[in-house]
Structure 1
Amino acid sequence: MQVKDLYVSAPGKAILHGEHAVVHGKVALAVSLNLRTYSRVKATTTGTVCINLPNINTFLCWDLSELKQLIPCSGGKKEEGKLLDAELVGKLRDFVGATNGNSETSTMATLSFLYIYISLFRSSELPSLTLTVWSELPTGAGLGSSAAYSVCLAAALLCASGAIPTPLKEWDPTARWCQEDLELINSRAFQGEMIIHGNPSGVDNAVGTWGGMLRFLAGKIIPLSRVPLLRILLTNTKVPRSTKVLVARVKDKINKFPSIMTPVLDSVDAISCTCEKALSEMTCKPITGEHYNTLEELIDINQHHLNVMGVGHPALDTLCRVTLTKGLHSKLTGAGGGGCGITLLRPETDSYVIQTTVQDLRDCGFDCWETSIGGPGVQQHSPLSIKAEVLEILNHY
Structure 2
Amino acid sequence: MHVKDCILSAPGKAILHGEHAVVHGKVALAVSLNLRTYLKLKATNDGKVCINLPNINSFLCWDLTELKLLVSDPCGKKEEGSLLNAELVKRLREFLGITNGNLDTSSMATLAFLYIYISMFRSSELPSLTMTVWSELPTGAGLGSSAAFSVCLAAALLCASGTIATPLKESEHNARWCQEDLELINSWAFRGETIIHGNPSGVDNAVGTWGGMLRFLSGKIIPLSRVPLLRILLTNTKVPRSTKVLVAGVKDKINKFPTIMTPVLDSVDAISCTCEKVLSEMTSEPITGEHYKILEELVDINQHHLNVMGVGHPTLDTLCRVTLTRGLHSKLTGAGGGGCGITLLRPETSASVVQNTVKDLRDCGFDCWETSIGGPGVQQHSPHSVKEDILEILNQY
The two structures have a TM-score, normalised by structure 1, of 0.98
Structure 1 residue 102, shift from structure 2 partner = 8.9
Structure 1 residue 74, shift from structure 2 partner = 7.7
Please identify, of 133-142 and 79-88, the stretch whose mean Cα deviation from structure 2 is larger.
79-88
Matches within 5 A, 1:169-208: 169-208=169-208
Matches within 5 A, 1:82-161: 82-97=82-97, 104-122=104-122, 124-161=124-161
What runs of 5+ residues in structure 1 fail to find an aligned partner? none
Match of 1:254 in 2: 254
SS of the aligned residue for 2:271 comes to helix
Matched, 1:341 2:341: yes
Q: Which one-letter code corresponds to 1:334 in the other structure?
A: G
Contact 2:79 2:119 (8 Å CA) reproduced: no
**CA gap 1:119/1:157 in 2 versus in 1, 3 angstroms:** same
Match of 2:43 in 1: 43
Q: Deviations over 1:334-378 (max 9, x none)?
A: 000000000000011111000000000000000000000000000
In structure 2, what is the Cα distance between the partners aligned to 1:381 and 1:393?
A: 15
Contact 2:74 2:124 (8 Å CA) reproduced: no
Contact 1:326 1:357 (8 Å CA) reproduced: yes
In structure 2, what is the Cα distance between the partners aligned to 1:387 and 1:192?
A: 27
In structure 1, what is the Cα distance between the partners aligned to 2:322 and 2:218?
A: 35
Q: Which one-letter code corresponds to 2:138 in the other structure?
A: P
In structure 2, what is the Cα distance between the partners aligned to 1:308 and 1:114?
A: 43
**CA gap 1:168/1:253 in 2 versus in 1, 3 angstroms:** same
What runs of 5+ residues in structure 2 fail to find an aligned partner? none
Contact 2:3 2:127 (8 Å CA) reproduced: no
SS of the aligned residue for 2:291 comes to helix
SS of the aligned residue for 1:241 comes to coil
Contact 2:182 2:209 (8 Å CA) reproduced: yes
SS of the aligned residue for 2:76 comes to coil
Please identify, of 115-124 and 210-219, the stretch whose mean Cα deviation from structure 2 is larger.
115-124
Structure 1 residue 26, shift from structure 2 partner = 0.2
Q: Which one-letter code corresponds to 2:295 in the other structure?
A: L
Q: Which one-letter code corresponds to 1:143 in the other structure?
A: L
Matches within 5 A, 1:212-231: 212-231=212-231
Structure 1 residue 221, shift from structure 2 partner = 0.2
Q: Deviations over 1:98-118 (max 9, x none)?
A: 79x997100000000000000
Structure 1 residue 175, shift from structure 2 partner = 0.1
Contact 1:80 1:188 (8 Å CA) reproduced: no
Matched, 1:25 2:25: yes
Q: Which one-letter code corresponds to 1:392 in the other structure?
A: E
Match of 1:371 in 2: 371
Q: Deviations over 1:269-299 (max 9, x none)?
A: 0000000000000000000000000000000
Contact 1:296 1:344 (8 Å CA) reproduced: yes
Contact 1:7 1:41 (8 Å CA) reproduced: yes
In structure 1, what is the Cα distance between the partners aligned to 2:396 and 2:74?
A: 37
The two structures have a TM-score, normalised by structure 2, of 0.98
Contact 1:12 1:34 (8 Å CA) reproduced: yes
Q: Which one-letter code corresponds to 1:282 in the other structure?
A: M
Q: Which one-letter code corresponds to 1:332 in the other structure?
A: L
Q: Deviations over 1:117-149 (max 9, x none)?
A: 000012651000000000000000000000000
Structure 1 residue 80, shift from structure 2 partner = 3.0
Match of 2:59 in 1: 59
In structure 1, what is the Cα distance between the partners aligned to 2:159 and 2:79?
A: 17
Q: Which one-letter code corresponds to 1:233 in the other structure?
A: L
Q: Which one-letter code corresponds to 1:95 in the other structure?
A: F
SS of the aligned residue for 2:3 comes to coil
SS of the aligned residue for 1:263 comes to helix
Q: Which one-letter code corresponds to 1:68 in the other structure?
A: K
Percent identical residues: 84
Match of 2:245 in 1: 245
Contact 2:79 2:120 (8 Å CA) reproduced: no
Q: Which one-letter code corresponds to 1:212 in the other structure?
A: G
Contact 1:2 1:159 (8 Å CA) reproduced: no
Matches within 5 A, 1:242-321: 242-321=242-321
**CA gap 1:284/1:103 in 2 versus in 1, 3 angstroms:** same
SS of the aligned residue for 2:331 comes to strand
Q: Which one-letter code corresponds to 2:104 in the other structure?
A: E
Q: Which one-letter code corresponds to 2:145 in the other structure?
A: S
**CA gap 1:284/1:2 in 2 versus in 1, 3 angstroms:** farther
Structure 1 residue 97, shift from structure 2 partner = 1.2
In structure 2, what is the Cα distance between the partners aligned to 1:61 and 1:170?
A: 31
Q: Which one-letter code corresponds to 2:29 in the other structure?
A: L
Contact 2:33 2:373 (8 Å CA) reproduced: yes
Q: Which one-letter code corresponds to 1:351 in the other structure?
A: A
Q: Which one-letter code corresponds to 1:240 in the other structure?
A: P
Q: Which one-letter code corresponds to 1:222 in the other structure?
A: I
